[in-house]
Amino acid sequence: METKAETVGTRHKTVLLQEAIEGLNLNPKSFVVDATFGGGGHSAEMCRRCPDIKIIALDQDKSAFKKAEEKFKDSSCDISFVNENFRNIDKVLEKQETKEVDGIIFDLGLSSDQLENSGRGFSFLRDEPLLMTMKESPLPEDVTAMDVVNTWDEKNLADIIYGYGEERYSRRIAQGIVEARTKKKIETTFELVEIIRNSVPASYRNGRLNCATRTFQAIRIAVNDELGAISEGLEKGFKLLKKGGRMSVISFHSLEDRIVKRFFKTKVTEGEALLINKKVILASDEEIKNNPRSRSAKLRILETTSLTPHIII
């Protein structure tokens, strides 16, 4: 992105910022849901463009708002912060006594701040407790990564590591986890990284991609039911859009994008929507140069309509 827009209080750079917001086709009085507030980059840019806009900002990580509220306190736009998972977007708007909105934006990526500063074990580069929950303060009944690696059976572990992480050595890693936990409970990220390293071939261990990347991604997705939340959030969000309302969705890996693409295709085929971008929008070479993380980002934009669909993915 040409205006890289550092997000509030972090080093995280909002990916495809301009493209995602321009795709919403906002007007000065728009009512928008920022379903994945994160560092606040999208909300800040929408407020800059449309000072009288109304925004409901959702994030299930309460700490995201602590860093942002100071930034927005002098903003003229009407922004409400709600500590909630976007899969409950319908309940949030019901409490706000709102039946429909002009736009919704989903940025499905994990922010750099969550990776680096949460202390919850998202990154394999930091030695932290194995939690991987999006919630700042998980409840006793919430599933954590520690629960997954210490209690799930070998087959289930292998299935999620392969299915959610697309990890070729999923069975070897699952076997290694089960063997390791018979000796000692697995409690930290570095303990899990060491198990993974010892479970894969040396050539893979020393490859370009850290050998723990796909396993950590898979466990995080399982802990937070991320794919289920995406499906639920898209469906509920779509029902809340006004006719002519738009939804911008940024995904970062194939599993997410597959869900978004299928959902958009269904709505277009059923005559409920049309695609704003026939081809998926990717980051420019300049943005990738300035923010390598944007390389995997894909933006899709949908508009509700009563017209017969004319674009199919």
Domain shared by 230 and 242, yes or no: yes
CATH number, domain of 195, equals 1.10.150.170
Looking at the structure, do residues 27 and 98 belong to the same domain, yes or no? yes
Mean local confidence (pLDDT), 50-72: 86
What is the phi/psi pair of residue 259, to 5°?
Answer: -65, -45
Q: Are residues 270 and 187 in the same domain?
A: no
The total of structural domains in the chain comes to 2
Domain span at 75: 17-113+226-304
Q: Which of 224, 258, 277 is the last residue of a domain?
A: 224
Q: What is the pTM of this model?
A: 0.88
Q: CA torsion, points 17, 18, 19, 23, in degrees to nearest 10?
A: 110
Q: Give yes or no: residues 151 and 200 share one domain.
A: yes
Name the band, by pLDDT with cuts 50, 70 and 90, for residue 287: very high
CATH of the domain at 66: 3.40.50.150
- Residue 40, in any domain of the structure: yes
Neighbouring residues of 235: CB distance < 8 A, sequence distance ≥ 6: 263
SS3 56: strand
Dump pLDDT digits (tens) for 85-99. 999 999 999 999 999
pLDDT higher than threshold 70 for residue 102: yes
End residue of a domain, out of 165, 198, 224: 224
> Has residue 192 been placed in a domain?
yes
Residue 4 inside a domain? The answer is no
| Residue 107 lies inside a defined structural domain of this protein | yes
- Shared-domain flag, residues 198 and 238: no
Whether residue 5 is contained in a domain is answered as no
Does any domain span residue 313? no
Domain identity same for 246 and 213: no
Q: For the segment 222-253, what is each residue's pLDDT rounded down to a tens digit?
A: 999 999 999 999 999 999 999 999 999 999 98
Residue 65 and residue 111 in contact, taking contact as beta carbons nearer than 8 Å: no
Whether 151 and 236 share a structural domain: no
Q: What angle (nearest 5°) sits at the alpha carbon of residue 301, between those of residues 98 and 233?
A: 45
Separation between Cα atoms, residue 274 and residue 128, nearest integer Å: 45
Determine the Cα–Cα distance for residues 31 and 10; give it in Å rounded to an integer. Answer: 26
305-310 long-range Cβ contacts below 8 angstroms, 24+ apart: 305/243, 305/244, 305/272, 305/273, 305/274, 306/243, 306/271, 307/271, 307/274, 308/271, 309/268, 309/269, 309/270, 309/271, 309/273, 309/274, 310/274
Q: What is the pLDDT of residue 309?
A: 41
- pLDDT-derived band at 178 (thresholds 50, 70, 90) equals very high
